Amino acid sequence: MIVTPLAAYLIVAALLFAIGLAGALTRRNAILVLIGIELMLNAANLNLIAFWRYGPHPEALTGMMFAIFSIAVAAAEAAVGLGLVISIYRHTHTTDLDQINRMKG
Amino acid sequence: MSIAFYPLALLTLAGGLAAVMLKNTVHCALALTVAFAGLALLFLELDAQFAGFAQILVYIGAVAILVVFAILLTKGSETPASGIFSSTWLVGLVIAAGVFAVLSWAVLQSVSALPNETAVPAITVHDIGNALVGRYVLPLEIVALLLTAATIGAVIVALHEKVGEK
Distance CA B114, CA B112 (A): 5
User: Which residues in chain B have Cβ-Cβ distances shorter than 8 Å to A23?
Assistant: 19-20
Give pTM, 2 decimals.
0.89
Average pLDDT over residues B57-83: 83
A7 touches chain B (CB under 8 A): yes
Cβ atoms of B112 and A33 closer than 8 Å: no
Amino acid at A48: L
**What average pLDDT does the structure give for chain B?**
86
**Model ipTM?**
0.91
Q: What is the per-residue pLDDT for B148?
A: 94
Q: What is the per-residue pLDDT for A59?
A: 82
Please count the CA atoms within 13 angstroms of the CA of A10 that sit on its side-chain side: 20
Cβ atoms of B43 and A42 closer than 8 Å: no
User: Does residue B81 carry a pLDDT above 80?
Assistant: no
Q: Which of residues 43-82 of B touch A (CB under 8 A)?
A: 43, 46-48, 50-51, 54-55, 58-59, 62-63, 66-67, 69-71, 73-76, 80, 82
- How do residues B104-122 score in pLDDT, each as one tens digit? 999 888 877 766 667 777 7
User: Does residue B13 carry a pLDDT above 60?
Assistant: yes
Confidence band for B166, pLDDT divided at 50, 70 and 90: very low
Q: What is the per-residue pLDDT for B164?
A: 54
